[in-house]
Chains A and B, each alone.
Chain A
Amino acid sequence: MSGEIIKLAHGSGGRLSRRLIEGKLLRFFDSPLLAPLADSALLDIDGCQLAFTTDSYVVDPLFFPGGDIGKLAVFGTVNDLAVVGAVPAFISCSLIIEEGFPTEELDRILASMSQASKAADVEVVTGDTKVVPKGKADGLFINTAGVGAMAEWARTLCSTPAPGDAVVVSGSVGDHEAAVLAKREGLNLQSSIQSDCAPLTKVARAVLQNAERVSFMRDVTRGGLATILNEAVADWSLGVVLKEADVPVRAEVRSICELLGLDPLYMASEGRLVAVVDAPSAESVRKAVRKTAIGRRCSVVGTVTERYAGKVAAETPFATRRLLQMLSGEQLPRIC
């Protein structure tokens, strides 16, 4: 067989994605600002501390319960800024449109972007449009980049976890992926699940302002909680034990997962973050996040431990433990 090619699984956010980024991008772009592979790069321009990020959106279907590609493109980029402790300020909007795309749908998507940017308190200040021949793109792809100034409250962020630190999740996991899956052609699932797609600015602020020390914070997107936590522990000499029963999962999301043989811990969200905070602050962080509009199910779901260095373990309700690996490939439904 000829040379290696890119497969869909390279885009799943799991191990193959990481290999693509580390093996290819880092090889060609030699920047100490890129190397940490954080959600945003932290820049210092003449003493001005900024966060800068970019993300592309290729969701299928374009409209799903609780959101659409436009809303996702705004909030996704806003969230990448928020979780590094920045106040999102300006974003860009680049559209790659397939020939034949209905302008009525484009209007709906742009209106949704406009509404989302108001909700997240950011301004779309630059953009680009390209149209490609029919069949060369799937309807519409959107890229957004964003910048924000580092907030004063980002000072509690550090990169040194300690045994006993608490793992906090800001709400139920997996809503977004379940909503998109349920809408996909072929499943014919009747469900009331809505995507959790939302800006995390206030939630991130609540975490950072109420903890003494935040050693990790990320939005829970592709690959789900299990994969994101694996990324956290990869560089640590410590591990994480997750209490499965404490992870908030909506009943409908669990049902879809049971039906398709998927694990909610690997399901993507678009308006949730996971943070590792010092144990004494955990309760006040949880309370503060619960006061935000999208943080009502915020829960402490695990602890940092000296066991399982570099690994994430899940504890079942009957106190057995299993290893949670990074997502490998796409989550695919089982056949028997």
Chain B
Amino acid sequence: MRFVDEYRRARPVKRLEREIRRAADRLGRKVRFMEICGGHTTAIHRFGIPSLLPDQIELLSGPGCPVCVTPTTYIDRALSLACDASCTLTTFGDLYRVPGSDGALEDASARGADVRVVYSPRDALKFALSDPQKVVTFLAVGFETTAPAVAATVLEASAQGIENFRIMSGHKTMPRALRALVEAPQVALDGFILPGHVSTIIGPEPYGFLPQEFGMACCVSGFEPTDILRSILALTLQVVKREFCVQNEYRRAVRKEGNAVAREQMSRVFEPCDSQWRGLGLIPNSGLDVKSEWRAYSVDPPDPTLPSEKHEDCRCEQLLRGLARPTDCPLFGTVCTPDSAVGPCMVSSEGSCAAFYKYGAGGIES
């Protein structure tokens, strides 16, 4: 398969492995790099990347999965909407099993609520068009990757005069969250594997503060094994040379200027707002709210200052800050499994606990 196979061949993987080992020998200490995109977390485990890395390099998983960071208050609000018989809820599949404080959308659906999994917000719009008696609400969750498509759908609903379509924005933006992450008092990180998809929209530039203000090595990465290894090599070399910048190793998808058209659609419909992150708390200006002129197409999300409920033993918060690994959590693999997830990092298939559980990164021998 083109654009896939050439990035999964054994020979380049082995060559990069050797180069990383050579570079790591010059580090003189252990370094910790964080991948912040759930897609990277999954790929890293699926391809067994950690076992290719020398002892000096440790990979940690950050807050990169939009489902992981959606607060319980958002799910609760969605569930309360689902109780209304005239409401059709539409959602991406990942959100379907995310627990609120009293069950998930999956449970509401089993109890008779009209909850439909869609692959695109435009499918939700089609439902609205075909069933005018129902108010079709799309649960708009995601980073800069999904927000433009949602914005375009709102614009289309308006252009077509479809009045029974709504979105509930739980959108979040990435750079602000990264700032909150590195400004926290307790963070032990040397660099970031930056998200590929988000960067196709915003470009590499908005991450500039990470190397400039915080001395973090940074590299935008693709999702194939050679992409990820090349990025790890780039980060290692930045640390070795103490020359920090935002490198782009995903040039086949990420342009310097990002995607201006998508950003323009996004800014027509959305404006920055404070946002509650599961595991990270309230982060100023890190969310996207629907602008007042499009309010007719919006259901108000819950008050962002309301905290997200959590299990007292759950370590997702430390995990999202890179202070713990899934296996450090007392609930991991016992109380908290993909079938009965407690924390957000287990719920999403791209969450770091789910990936650890699924791919045995805690050691397949264990």
Instruction: Determine if A8 is an interface residue (Cβ-Cβ < 8 Å).
Output: yes
- 30 A–B contact pairs at CB < 8 A? A5-B107, A7-B107, A9-B97, A9-B339, A186-B123, A251-B1, A258-B1, A311-B360, A311-B364, A317-B8, A318-B47, A319-B10, A320-B49, A322-B45, A322-B47, A322-B360, A322-B364, A323-B359, A323-B364, A329-B97, A329-B338, A332-B117, A333-B119, A334-B38, A334-B39, A334-B94, A334-B349, A336-B66, A336-B145, A336-B198
Contacts of A317 in B (CB 8 A): 8-10, 13
- Taking the nearest CB of chain B, how far is it from the CB of A178, in angstroms? 14
Contacts of A258 in B (CB 8 A): 1, 4
Instruction: Determine if A48 is an interface residue (Cβ-Cβ < 8 Å).
Output: no
In residues 1-51 of chain B, which contact A (Cβ within 8 Å)? 1, 4, 8-10, 13-14, 37-39, 42, 45-49, 51
Q: Which residue of B lies closest to A251 (CB)?
A: B1
Asked whether, in the complex, the Cβ of A335 is within 8 Å of the Cβ of B95, the reply is yes
Contacts of A329 in B (CB 8 A): 97, 338-339
Asked whether, in the complex, the Cβ of A335 is within 8 Å of the Cβ of B92, the reply is yes
Total count of chain B residues near the partner, CB < 8 A: 59
Contacts of A191 in B (CB 8 A): none
Contacts of A6 in B (CB 8 A): 110
In the bound complex, how far is the Cα of B92 from the Cα of A333, in angstroms? 8
Asked whether, in the complex, the Cβ of B48 is within 8 Å of the Cβ of A336, the reply is no
- Name B14's contact: one of A263, A318, A322 (CB within 8 Å): A318
Instruction: Determine if A292 is an interface residue (Cβ-Cβ < 8 Å).
Output: no
Instruction: Determine if A255 is an interface residue (Cβ-Cβ < 8 Å).
Output: yes
Instruction: Determine if B187 is an interface residue (Cβ-Cβ < 8 Å).
Output: no
Contacts of A332 in B (CB 8 A): 93-94, 96-97, 117, 349
In the bound complex, how far is the Cα of B360 from the Cα of A333, in angstroms? 21
Asked whether, in the complex, the Cβ of B225 is within 8 Å of the Cβ of A318, the reply is yes
What sequence of 0s and 1s flags, for each residue 1-38 of chain A, a beta carbon within 8 Å of any chain B beta carbon? 10001111100000110010000000000000000000
Q: List 8 A-B pairs, minimum CB-CB distance, nearest first.
A: A320-B48, A323-B360, A332-B93, A335-B92, A328-B338, A318-B13, A322-B359, A323-B364
Which residues of A are in contact with B by a Cβ distance under 8 Å? Answer: 1, 5-9, 15-16, 19, 186-187, 251, 254-255, 258, 260-261, 263, 307-308, 311, 313, 316-323, 325, 328-330, 332-336
Asked whether, in the complex, the Cβ of B66 is within 8 Å of the Cβ of A335, the reply is yes
A318-B225, A322-B45, A323-B360 given; A8·B110 CB < 8 A: yes
- Name B47's contact: one of A261, A307, A313, A320 (CB within 8 Å): A320
A254-B1, A332-B117 given; A15·B225 CB < 8 A: no
Q: Which residue of A lies closest to B37 (CB)?
A: A336
- Taking the nearest CB of chain B, how far is it from the CB of A47, in angstroms? 44
In the bound complex, how far is the Cα of B117 from the Cα of A258, in angstroms? 19
In the bound complex, how far is the Cα of B145 from the Cα of A336, in angstroms? 7
- Taking the nearest CB of chain B, how far is it from the CB of A263, in angstroms? 8
A322-B359, A336-B38, A336-B145 given; A5·B364 CB < 8 A: no
Q: With A263-B46, A317-B9, A335-B146 given, name 16 new contacts (CB 8 A).
A: A1-B102, A5-B111, A7-B106, A8-B110, A317-B8, A318-B14, A318-B48, A319-B10, A320-B52, A322-B360, A332-B96, A332-B97, A334-B38, A335-B92, A335-B141, A336-B142
Asked whether, in the complex, the Cβ of A321 is within 8 Å of the Cβ of B10, the reply is no
Instruction: Determine if B289 is an interface residue (Cβ-Cβ < 8 Å).
Output: no
Instruction: Determine if B335 is an interface residue (Cβ-Cβ < 8 Å).
Output: no
Q: Which residue of A lies closest to B144 (CB)?
A: A336
Q: Pick from A258, A333, A334 the residue with the most CB of B within 10 Å.
A: A334
- Taking the nearest CB of chain B, how far is it from the CB of A62, in angstroms? 19
Q: Pick from B106, B359, B361, B364 the residue with the most CB of A within 10 Å.
A: B364
Asked whether, in the complex, the Cβ of A318 is within 8 Å of the Cβ of B4, the reply is no
- Taking the nearest CB of chain B, how far is it from the CB of A170, in angstroms? 23
Asked whether, in the complex, the Cβ of B339 is within 8 Å of the Cβ of A15, the reply is yes
What sequence of 0s and 1s flags, for each residue 59-81 of chain B, a beta carbon within 8 Å of any chain A beta carbon? 00000011100000000000000
In the bound complex, how far is the Cα of B10 from the Cα of A273, in angstroms? 29
Contacts of B360 in A (CB 8 A): 311, 313, 322-323, 325
Asked whether, in the complex, the Cβ of A335 is within 8 Å of the Cβ of B110, the reply is no
Q: Which residue of A lies closest to B8 (CB)?
A: A317
- Taking the nearest CB of chain A, how far is it from the CB of B62, in angstroms? 14
Contacts of A7 in B (CB 8 A): 106-107, 109-110
Q: Pick from A15, A186, A251 the residue with the most CB of B within 10 Å.
A: A186
Q: Pick from B102, B142, B360 the residue with the most CB of A within 10 Å.
A: B360
- Taking the nearest CB of chain B, how far is it from the CB of A94, in angstroms? 25
Instruction: Determine if B197 is an interface residue (Cβ-Cβ < 8 Å).
Output: yes
Asked whether, in the complex, the Cβ of A325 is within 8 Å of the Cβ of B358, the reply is yes
Instruction: Determine if B293 is an interface residue (Cβ-Cβ < 8 Å).
Output: no
Contacts of B103 in A (CB 8 A): 1
- Taking the nearest CB of chain A, how far is it from the CB of B235, in angstroms? 20
- Taking the nearest CB of chain B, how far is it from the CB of A61, in angstroms? 16
- Taking the nearest CB of chain B, how far is it from the CB of A98, in angstroms? 18
- Taking the nearest CB of chain A, how far is it from the CB of B112, in angstroms? 10
Q: Which residue of B lies closest to A320 (CB)?
A: B48
